[in-house]
Amino acid sequence: MPSNWLPLIVERSEKGPFVKESAYDLGLARKVAKLVKKHGIRFEPRVIVPTNDDMADRLCQAGLELFVEMGVSNQSTERRALFSREEVEAAVAAAPKAVGLGMGKDAWVMRHRGAESNIPCILRPISLWYAHGIFSLPLALGSLLSGGS
């Protein structure tokens, strides 16, 4: 497994399967609906971050299945970057415990949150710039895929 995933992500986002944005969005919505039903996921408006271990496990599995099947859509190239379950699990296992992001007054640290963690949950979008455009990923994905462990 590579220690620097960015070149692989960029390559796959430029050479992966072609997909129109509308088709990707529709496929994503359909897959989410199937996974919600399959895993018995229910939204509780008063519980932003579930603390129920069983629900957390089901959310983790659904998120992993969603990511592996749908990949990430690059709107600039109209391609999908796809990754195997093994690649995703290896990347999550190799992820650092903390990453400094931003500069100056916009600087912040994203930290791994384990089960029962007192570290505040931070959900922010991040965009990775590269030579051919922009590649956006939700930071919540790492926490979701790690299962909070």
pTM of this structure = 0.72
Confidence of residue 108 (pLDDT cuts 50, 70, 90): confident
Parallel, antiparallel or unpaired: strands 108-111 and 125-130: unpaired
Asked if residue 38 has pLDDT above 70, the reply is yes
Instruction: Check if the beta carbon of residue 38 is closer than 8 Å to that of residue 123.
Output: no
From CA 57, how far away is CA 129, in angstroms rounded? 32
Reported confidence tier of residue 141, pLDDT bands at 50, 70, 90:
very low
Identify the residue with better confidence: 129 or 80: 80
Spans of all domains in the chain: 6-146
Helix, strand or coil, per DSSP, at residue 73: strand
146 closest CA partner among 64, 71, 31: 64
Predicted confidence band at 78 (pLDDT cuts at 50, 70, 90)? very high
> What pLDDT is stored for residue 114 in this prediction?
76
